[in-house]
Copies of this chain bind each other. A is one copy, B any other.
Amino acid sequence: MSTKVISEAVIKRLPRYYRYLEHLEQEGVSKVSSGTLAGMLGVTASQVRQDFCNFGGFGQHGYGYDVPYLRRKLAEILGLDRQYDMIIIGAGNIGRALAGYKNFAAEGFKVRALFDIDVKDREIGGIPVLGVDKLADWVKEHGCDIAVIATQKSVASDAAHQLVALGVKSLWNFAPIDLEVPDDVSVENIAMSESLYVLSYRMKTKREEQSK
C-alpha cells in the first residue's frame, strides 16, 4: 500500500467529484471525460487526471471515465462503503437540524443518540436524547465512530476532551472554536461564521469596486 501523502487540496476535491458522479449516475450518464469533470469543479482536465493518479488512475486514455465505476471507487476511497455510528453532543438548533438530515443516514452516517446538559425532548425523529451524564456509559456500551460537536463555544473544548478520553477518533465540529486533539483523532470543522464573513467581505469588495 502506497504511503504517499495526498495533499489537502486533493482531499477536499474528492467529495465534490463524488457528488458530481452521483448526480451523473442518477441521470443515467455512463461515461465522463476529465474535461467535463474539470469544468464542474473549476480546475483543469490535467488536474483531474493528476488527482485520480493518486489512487490508481481509473480512466482509459481517450475514453474518459466509466461513471458508475468511478463513483464506486470514490465511495471506497472516501470510506462511504460502510456504516458509521454518530452521536451528537448538543441538542439545540444545530444538533436537532443535523439529527433530522436524511441525507446522512442514506450515505451510511447514522445518528444513534443526542446528548445535552438540558434534555427537553426525550427523542428527536426517533433518535433518543440523553443527559450528558449518560455519555460515558453510552459510548462504552455502544461505541461511537463520529461525534458531532454542536454545543455552545464555551463547552465545546470540554466535550471534545471527554470524547477523546472515551476513545472517539473522529469529531465533526460545528462550534466556532479550534479543538486541540491528539494526532490520532481527526477533526473536521464547519465554520459557519467564517463562511458568512467571507460573504460580507465579497459584498464589501463589490461595493467598493462599484463606487469607483
Q: Chain A interface (Cβ within 8 Å of chain B)?
A: 1, 3, 11-12, 14-16, 18-19, 40, 77-80, 84, 92-94, 96-98, 100-101, 103-104, 107, 109, 145-146, 169-170, 172, 176, 178, 184, 186, 188-204, 206-209, 212
Contact = CB atoms under 8 A, between A and B. Distances in A.
B204 A78 contact: yes
Contacts of A212: 1, 3
B100 A93 contact: yes
Label chain A's interface by main secondary structure. Answer: helix
Contact of A197 (B80, B189, B195): B80
Given A77-B201, A97-B97, 15 more contacts: A3-B209, A14-B201, A15-B195, A15-B201, A19-B176, A40-B178, A77-B204, A79-B203, A103-B176, A103-B193, A104-B193, A109-B196, A184-B206, A190-B190, A190-B192
Contacts of A109: 196, 200
